Chains A and B, each alone.
Chain A
Amino acid sequence: AQSVTQLGSHVSVSEGALVLLRCNYSSSVPPYLFWYVQYPNQGLQLLLKYTSAATLVKGINGFEAEFKKSETSFHLTKPSAHMSDAAEYFCALMNYGGSQGNLIFGKGTKLSVKP
């Protein structure tokens, strides 16, 4: 079965510091992986996606993620945090065995940015 694990339900960084949000996955087939951001009471916005092309994926708002098959990881990073980055972040995996490609989400990581 496929699954997604996000390590750390809450991450706090100072403005200007490195952001690292961790995501590990389990999949018996080559995965399609996604990172989404959710602001309070809003839907999800796609940050970036991995679809078996380049292992280092660049997304919007300065975020990037690196797919590491050997570590089954897809961690999200940003060199310098901004106050506006404070939000909930979800790692997701395409569900091959499910309903026409729905997403399997991790439990989310809340990012706080201190001034």
Chain B
Amino acid sequence: GAVVSQHPSWVICKSGTSVKIECRSLDFQATTMFWYRQFPKQSLMLMATSNEGSKATYEQGVEKDKFLINHASLTLSTLTVTSAHPEDSSFYICSARDREQASIYEQFFGPGTRLTVL
């Protein structure tokens, strides 16, 4: 089956530092990857859509200079939280669409990354 991995699974950092989160599709090519954010006991909110070889599309209210997204290959997208602050602490989840199954509109989710900013 289609597998998406995220690294790291959890990270603790100091306020002001930057953190990079990787999202990889392990057994398929993903032209589109989505980044979601989930606050405790809340639903997932789309942050941005990442397309291989082009700039990411950010949802309204999401600072593109703070949440840098790079989709350099068909299997890897990265989210960098720059100058992280405690309010950025959250669970970040990526998902990927299989290039070969675009018509099914199914997304495969990564296991998530728990970010805690002290």
A interface residues with partner B (beta carbon < 8 Å): 32, 36, 41-46, 49, 51, 90, 94, 98-103, 105-108
Q: How far is the CA of A41 from the CA of B13 in the complex (A)?
A: 18
Hey, what's the 0/1 contact readout for B44-59 against A, CB within 8 Å counting as 1? Answer: 1110110100000101
Q: Verify A90–B109 contact, CB threshold 8 A.
A: no
Q: Which residues of chain A are within 8 angstroms of B91 by Cβ–Cβ distance? A: 41
In the complex, which of the residues A46, A102, A108 contacts B34, with contact meaning CB atoms closer than 8 Å?
A: A102
Q: How far is the CA of A103 from the CA of B57 in the complex (A)?
A: 15
Main secondary structure on A side of the interface with B:
loop
The interface on chain B, measured as residues whose beta carbon lies within 8 A of the other chain's beta carbons, has a size of: 28
Q: With contacts A43-B93, A100-B51 known, what are 12 further pairs, Cβ within 8 A? A: A36-B109, A43-B6, A43-B112, A44-B95, A45-B109, A94-B105, A99-B46, A100-B32, A102-B34, A103-B46, A105-B43, A106-B43
Main secondary structure on B side of the interface with A:
strand
B interface residues with partner A (beta carbon < 8 Å): 4, 6, 32, 34, 42-46, 48-49, 51, 57, 59, 91, 93, 95, 97, 104-112, 114
Q: How far is the CA of A104 from the CA of B48 in the complex (A)?
A: 13
Q: Verify B46–A107 contact, CB threshold 8 A.
A: no
Q: Given contacts A102-B34, A105-B44, is CB(A42)–CB(B107) below 8 Å? A: no
Q: Verify B97–A44 contact, CB threshold 8 A.
A: no
What is the distance, in angstroms, from B58's C-beta to the closest C-beta of chain A?
9
Q: Verify B97–A101 contact, CB threshold 8 A.
A: yes
Q: Verify B34–A99 contact, CB threshold 8 A.
A: yes
In the complex, which of the residues B51, B105, B114 contacts A32, with contact meaning CB atoms closer than 8 Å?
A: B105
